[in-house]
Amino acid sequence: MHDIEPHYNWRHHYIAEEDERSPFFGREYSEFEFTNSIYGYCIHPQWDDIDSPTLFIKLLCVDYDEQFAIIEMLGEWNDCINNDIMFFKRDVIDKLIENGISKFILIGENILNFHYSDESYYEEWKEDISSSGGWIALLGFREHVLSEFEKINLFEYFNYAEEFNAISWRPFTPLQLFQVVEKCVQKQLN
């Protein structure tokens, strides 16, 4: 797990720790000290701790003009035991919404499992952004994780279609990825 790094090719577009409006403003990272772990396995020090023992994220890009955020995720998303959605919503998403962000792209290639509790934070998130035309799109999530989302009807709050997982997102700039995803979301909504 220690060699799974957050996507770093967009650092010339955005650096969360240098953005005064970012929930991670002022954070300092080590390239050599591995302080965080998931189930005893060290993870790369560039991942951001959101007070969950199993879920870490990286705010890859925020564009305040276009009102979107791209967030990469790592680990086990466990609402059942750790209430991960509460920490994610309160400590990251709410701060972004306060700064005008209403469109979220969650990249879940490195989400290994999902465990459900209840939908109240998802419902709140959707309500917080719906008046401004916002949405939450899922990219790259594993099939078994998507199956768990589907079992408990979380797609009511997320935008997802198979074409979302087919998007090879790394070659795009953040704005290009947003435009591709927004087009898919609009197609899905229509």
Render pLDDT for 35-66 as a digit per residue (tens, 0 to 9).
888 888 888 889 999 999 999 999 999 999 99
Q: DSSP letter for 7, please.
A: P
How many other C-beta atoms are found inside a 10 Å radius of the C-beta of residue 86? Answer: 15
Phi/psi at 51 (5° precision): 70, 25
pTM over cut 0.85: yes
Q: Residue 154 corresponds to which tokens in the numbers above?
A: 């979380």
- pLDDT exceeds 90 at position 163: no
Domain boundaries, the chain: 48-189
Taking only the tens place, the pLDDT of each residue in 62-79 is 999 999 999 999 999 999
Which of the listed CATH numbers 3.30.70.360, 3.90.226.10, 3.30.750.24, 3.30.499.10 matches domain 48-189? 3.30.750.24
